[in-house]
Amino acid sequence: MATLEVRDVNKNFGGVQALRDVNLSVDAGSVHAIIGPNGAGKSTLLNCMVGRLLPDTGSVMFNGQSLLGLRPHEINQLGVARVFQTPEIFPDLTLVENVIVPALAKRDGAFNFHAWERIDAQKDIMDEAESVLEEVGLIKFKDLSAASLSRGDKRRLELAMCLVQHPKLLLLDEPTAGMSRADTNATIDLLKRIGERGITKIVIEHDMHVVFSLAQKISVMAQGTVIVEGEPTAIKGDPKVQEAYLGG
Ligand code: ADP
Ligand code: MG
């Protein structure tokens, strides 16, 4: 059964055809990787899934419901969370506070400053924030400001900010970009553990080691469209894939 279904999506930016008849079907509970050279349209496609961009034509369905025209926070409320290509965290807040903000937004439907003022009295939310930080391996830094984290740890914090919302679908745009090999491997392990909870994941990734460690299905994009889709073993030897990378 498909969780997310993209059909014939097109997106044009003033003459640049960023997406061209894109089709994508993501199975529930699976890890689906999107790969392809720079400029292929991967981030644009993700932006169309989370309501940051509206496709010119086509449809995006999540569990049978159209996402088109919904605002990003409305899509988030449906259970779609996203880790951005550039971490979007609150640098001046502590790690615990960074995780509490999305937890409150999810609980209350929108961020509410009144709830924030009384946060010390809300043990359930504090406990949950700490348990998510424990899960991603950042609990020891919980009272430090997010600005002080390494690049890899900022990405882990962003993942914690998603997990605290109990997403059904998690979108990750280059989750290991800029990470050391050790950090990358730790992230692969973490994403595998999260997978055990049955969260469906879409991962945009350049690191083929990460892609082949995680994905059950791979869509290869080039020049705004999906040129090949299949299981990792089939993708590996596909001449069109080699050509897209060499030609891209
Ligand atoms: P990828 O994530 O695969 O590297 P993008 O989705 O970022 O690719 O970009 C696809 C194409 O669309 C590129 O040619 C890029 O320059 C163009 N593009 C992306 N976003 C915009 C935008 N907001 N305005 C104009 N062109 C854009
Ligand atoms: Mg991108």
Q: Are residues 47 and 70 both part of a single domain?
A: yes
pLDDT tens, position by position, 135-153? 999 999 999 999 999 888 9
Q: Which of 123, 144, 164 is the last residue of a domain?
A: 164
Asked if the model's pLDDT at residue 196 lies above 90, the reply is no
Q: Are residues 171 and 134 both part of a single domain?
A: no
Q: How far is the CA of 46 from the centre of ligand 2 (A)?
A: 9
Q: Are residues 8 and 125 both part of a single domain?
A: no
Ligand 1 atom closest to Cα of residue 47: 6
* Total number of domains constituting the chain: 2
Q: Which of 164, 183, 200 is the last residue of a domain?
A: 164
Residue among 17, 33, 58 at smallest CA distance from 232: 33
Q: How far is the CA of 173 from the centre of ligand 2 (A)?
A: 7
Q: Are residues 31 and 132 both part of a single domain?
A: no
Q: How far is the CA of 57 from the centre of ligand 1 (A)?
A: 17
pLDDT tens, position by position, 18-73? 999 999 999 999 999 999 999 999 999 999 999 999 999 999 999 999 999 999 88
Q: Which residues keep their CB under 5 angstroms from ion ligand 2?
A: 42-43
Q: Are residues 171 and 248 both part of a single domain?
A: yes
Q: Are residues 126 and 174 both part of a single domain?
A: no
Q: Are residues 183 and 74 both part of a single domain?
A: yes
Q: Are residues 134 and 199 both part of a single domain?
A: no
Q: What is the ipTM of this complex?
A: 0.98
- Structural domain of residue 171, as residue ranges? 1-79+167-248
pTM over 0.80: yes
d(CA 62, CA 58): 14
Q: Which residues, judged by CB distance below 6 Å to any ligand atom, belong to the binding site of ligand 1?
A: 13, 16, 18, 36, 38-44
d(CA 72, CA 50): 6
Q: Which of 164, 184, 213 is the last residue of a domain?
A: 164
Ligand 1 atom closest to Cα of residue 11: 12
